[in-house]
Amino acid sequence: MKQDIPRGILCIVLSTLVLTAQDGMTKWLVESHHAGVLMFWRGLLAIPVAAAFHVMTGQRLSRLVSKKPGFTAYRSIMAGTCSMLVVLSFAYMPLADALAVIFVSPLIITALSAVFLKEPVGWHRWGAVIVGFCGVLLITEPGQAPLTWVILIPLGAAFTGALRDIGSRQLGGVDPPTTTLFWAMVASSAAGAVTLPFWGLTWPSPAEWGLLAVTAVMIAVAMWLIVLAFQMASGSAIAPYRYLSLIWAGLIGYAVWGDIPSETKLAGAGIVAASGLYIWWRETRLRAQQE
């Protein structure tokens, strides 16, 4: 596909808005149902949507079978675990706070790339990782309240999300993106099903069924917009716009729940975003020098 940077940026901006709005709906639903049951029902609804997207992009159903099933299974397990932890974090934290912590995932990818992908990680990137985690500490507002175990939930989501994305890089060019999306939805539903014997199965109301169906479609649409964005423009052109999710989350949190982040939390979120953007800027600059 021919490069079209403005449209690529538009697609990634829309994807952040759709995903964050879906997160807001999920946070509202988790007030009435536990995270596992939401994952179970949403995943079941999203599986046929992902299969439909697969066919709509011109792929045969047989291509839903991965060429690297081991890697796909690993990535799907990480995706399901990450999704579960994301939903759980919404149950215990304001939307913007949870997403700000989850956004340390790019920093964790930087650290883990040295281990899993054997990529050189210099002191610039290690420094950005350390600064980013300092931003997470600010989000917890040290001195205002004791640090609780709750912060481990979005950090776990960030860590498993990083492992998922590393798996995606290892699957790059092997399977169509819609194949990866399909199995991620299967894993999401399976992760929710595992919790049902312990937490129980609840039945959503008609209105909640409608919201679950909308979130299932929104996930598929957002992922498709991300695929289009990366087809239309380089990663270096669109990566910074993914941090718009933090702005959408703040606006949704204020409009729906009246959440107003303190100056300390805003500073922490800004540090996390700045650290991720610094790594993006430096890697883009180094690639340009090598070409």
Write the pLDDT tens digit of every residue in 213-251.
999 999 888 877 876 776 677 655 676 778 888 889 999
Q: What's the farthest any 2 CA atoms get from each other in the chain?
A: 57
Contact between 279 and 107 (Cβ < 8 Å): yes
Which pLDDT does position 194 carry in this prediction?
94
Q: What is the DSSP letter of 61?
A: G
Among 16-30, 138-152, 159-173, top mean pLDDT goes to: 16-30
Which pLDDT does position 227 carry in this prediction?
67
Structure tokens at 229: 């964005």
CA distances from 52 to 56, 76, 290 (A): 6, 19, 41
Please determine, for residue 119, whether its predicted confidence score (pLDDT) is greater than 70: no
CA distances from 59 to 5, 50, 65, 94, 146 (A): 26, 12, 11, 39, 52
Count, in order, helices (H) and strands (E) of the chain: 12, 0
Which pLDDT does position 146 carry in this prediction?
52
Which pLDDT does position 62 carry in this prediction?
92
> Region 62-69: what's the mean pLDDT?
90
The pLDDT-based confidence of 116 (bands split at 50, 70, 90) is: low
Please determine, for residue 7, whether its predicted confidence score (pLDDT) is greater than 80: yes
Contact between 238 and 8 (Cβ < 8 Å): yes
Which pLDDT does position 236 carry in this prediction?
58
CA neighbours closer than 13 Å in the CB half-sphere of residue 63: 19
Continuous segment of H or E residues that includes residue 112: helix 105-116
Range of the domain at 152: 5-290
> Region 155-168: what's the mean pLDDT?
86
Quickly count: other Cβ atoms within 10 Å of residue 67's Cβ.
11
Residue-averaged pLDDT of the chain: 84
Contact between 215 and 25 (Cβ < 8 Å): yes
Which pLDDT does position 196 carry in this prediction?
95
The pLDDT-based confidence of 121 (bands split at 50, 70, 90) is: low
The pLDDT-based confidence of 55 (bands split at 50, 70, 90) is: very high
Please determine, for residue 144, whether its predicted confidence score (pLDDT) is greater than 60: no
Which pLDDT does position 20 carry in this prediction?
94
The pLDDT-based confidence of 3 (bands split at 50, 70, 90) is: low
- How many domains is the chain partitioned into structurally? 1
Write the pLDDT tens digit of every residue in 183-222.
989 999 999 999 999 999 999 999 999 999 999 999 888 8
